[in-house]
């Protein structure tokens, strides 16, 4: 090995943050505005885990007593995603609130169709934050886009007095106070913070399960300083969300060259120009993963990414492309590892790409599990019970 190559490799093995790249800590403005009486900061409770972010600042992740800001896409089309997040939290014994007093972030109308505006989006965010504050539970954001968008909104509110005045007037009409949480936390950050606790409850040997991770653009590209980066995961050079949990679970985390690429979701495109989404998702992500890492599963941490990567593979198979990797959230994967039912909890029958070989490799008898689920459905059809309950899934 030449000296030059040795220098490069040693840099990669020992990551050191460069202080001058460290971004500004938004908390200074946040607490200054609170001191000036302009807003209320909802504090993280004393029961938190401290995690490292991109430029070295620590972020507090509250363990329990969380207010689940749900994702419309997860609840609507991938319901095993949100169910798995709740299931893990129940399994670990943390209390939470699953509110009806919650709208989505409505960012579809912002990023897809531009049929909303800055003030409306800020008002929606603050209405939801105020609703959480009123319950005493701390917000936990399920959707990557909501998480990224709310950080954009926070930044705008902190720096634009005119926007604060505009939104304050709207909130007054709703009899709501202006509240911004101390931290805006994504569920994948909670899973990262809880990764050792989750791993200690794993009942499966995942060492033979090859995993590739797709990081969500709106998680780590929008207001990027908040995202989790861990010197022990990818030497701190890629976000550690998802991947950190995969490593703790003992699965075989594999790399690929288009890690930083988007999934191709595109908001507008996934609905009205899916040829673009399908092309990007399969040619730039799935095929590259398959050729370079040959994983058993793709894990990601956002609604749109699961949808784009999973649903794009069916039609692409007709073109005899090299696709066919199941896709799910790391929440579903972790829940499976902890013994969650693949259909009653993880709801994998809502997914498109064949997940059965993965379950077999994980040691899960999917045929028996499907038969159990069918029995439960019969109970619902007969009217023995109206809904499947948490008691039916052991938590």
Partner 1 sequence: MAQVTFDPYLKLEHLAGHADVTRAEKERLISKVMADRRFPDYLYGCYECGICVAVCPSARFYDFSPRRIAQAAARVDVDLMFQQMEEDIWECSQCFSCLRCPRGNNPGGIITIMREVAVEEGRRSAKTALEGYSRIIYKIMSTGTQVSPDMLQPDAFPDWGPEVKDVSENLSLWRRALPPETHHTTSTGWDVAESTILELYVIWLETGALEMIKEVDTGIHMILEEIMEERLEEEGIEI
Segment 57 to 76, residues that bind partner 1, using CB under 8 A: 70-76
Segment near partner 1 (CB under 8 A), from 3-11, 245-253, 320-328, 374-382?
374-382
Binding to partner 1 by residue 369, rule CB under 8 A? no
CA nearest to 174, candidates 215, 229, 131, 231: 131
Q: How many residues bind partner 1 (CB under 8 A)?
A: 95
Give the x-and-dash track for 108-147 against partner 1 (CB under 8 A): xxxxxxxxxxxxx--xx--x---x----------------
User: How large is the C-alpha radius of gyration of the chain?
Assistant: 21
Q: Give min distance, CB of 80 to partner 1, in A.
A: 9
Q: Give min distance, CB of 303 to partner 1, in A.
A: 8
Q: Give min distance, CB of 394 to partner 1, in A.
A: 10
Binding to partner 1 by residue 214, rule CB under 8 A? no
**Which of residues 70 and 238 has its CB atom nearest to partner 1 in the complex?**
70
Binding to partner 1 by residue 18, rule CB under 8 A? no
Q: Give min distance, CB of 21 to partner 1, in A.
A: 12
Binding to partner 1 by residue 260, rule CB under 8 A? yes
Binding to partner 1 by residue 392, rule CB under 8 A? yes
Segment near partner 1 (CB under 8 A), from 8-16, 220-228, 288-296, 356-364?
220-228
Q: Give min distance, CB of 375 to partner 1, in A.
A: 11
Binding to partner 1 by residue 165, rule CB under 8 A? no
Give the x-and-dash track for 293-332 against partner 1 (CB under 8 A): ----------x-------x--xx-----------------
Q: Positive or negative CA dihedral for 208, 198, 341, 329?
A: negative
Q: State the Cα–Cα distance between residues 91 and 73, nearest whole angstrom.
A: 24
Segment near partner 1 (CB under 8 A), from 5-13, 202-210, 233-241, 383-391?
383-391
**Which of 178, 217, 253, 337 touches partner 1 by CB under 8 A?**
217
Binding to partner 1 by residue 96, rule CB under 8 A? no
């Amino acid at each position: 090995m030449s000296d030059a190559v040795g220098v490069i490799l040693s840099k990669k093995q020992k990551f050191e943050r460069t202080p001058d790249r460290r971004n500004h800590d938004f908390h200074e403005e946040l607490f200054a505005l609170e001191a000036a009486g302009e807003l209320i900061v909802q504090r993280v409770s004393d029961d938190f885990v401290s995690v490292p972010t991109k430029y070295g600042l620590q972020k507090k992740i509250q363990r329990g007593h969380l207010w689940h800001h749900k994702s419309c896409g997860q609840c609507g089309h991938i319901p095993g995603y949100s169910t798995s997040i709740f299931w893990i939290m129940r399994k670990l014994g943390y209390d939470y609130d699953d509110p009806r007093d919650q709208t989505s972030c409505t960012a579809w109308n912002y990023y897809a169709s531009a049929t909303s505006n800055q003030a409306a989006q800020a008002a929606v965010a603050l209405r939801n934050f105020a609703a959480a504050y009123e319950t005493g539970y701390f917000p936990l954001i399920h959707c990557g886009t909501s998480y990224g968008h709310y950080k954009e909104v926070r930044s705008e509110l902190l720096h634009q007095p005119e926007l604060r005045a505009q939104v304050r007037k709207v909130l007054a009409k709703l009899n709501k106070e202006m509240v911004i949480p101390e931290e805006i936390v994504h569920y994948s950050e909670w899973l990262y913070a809880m990764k050792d606790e989750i791993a200690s409850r794993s009942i499966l040997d995942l060492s033979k399960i090859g995993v590739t991770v797709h990081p969500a653009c709106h998680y780590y590209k929008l207001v990027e300083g908040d995202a989790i980066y861990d010197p022990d995961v990818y030497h701190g050079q890629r976000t550690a969300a998802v991947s950190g949990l995969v490593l703790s679970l003992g699965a075989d985390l594999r790399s690929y060259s288009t890690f930083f690429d988007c999934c191709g979701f595109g908001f507008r495109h996934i609905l009205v120009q899916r040829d673009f989404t399908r092309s990007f998702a399969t040619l730039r992500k799935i095929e590259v993963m398959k050729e370079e890492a040959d994983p058993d599963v793709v894990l990601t941490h956002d609604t749109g990414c699961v949808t784009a990567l999973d649903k794009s593979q069916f039609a692409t198979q007709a073109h005899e492309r090299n696709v066919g990797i199941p896709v799910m959230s790391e929440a579903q994967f972790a829940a499976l590892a902890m013994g969650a039912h693949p259909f009653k909890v993880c709801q994998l029958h809502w997914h498109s790409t064949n997940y059965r070989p993965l379950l077999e490799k994980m040691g899960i008898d999917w045929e028996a599990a499907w038969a159990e689920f069918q029995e439960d459905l019969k109970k619902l059809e007969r009217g023995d019970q109206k809904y499947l309950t948490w008691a039916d899934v052991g938590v």
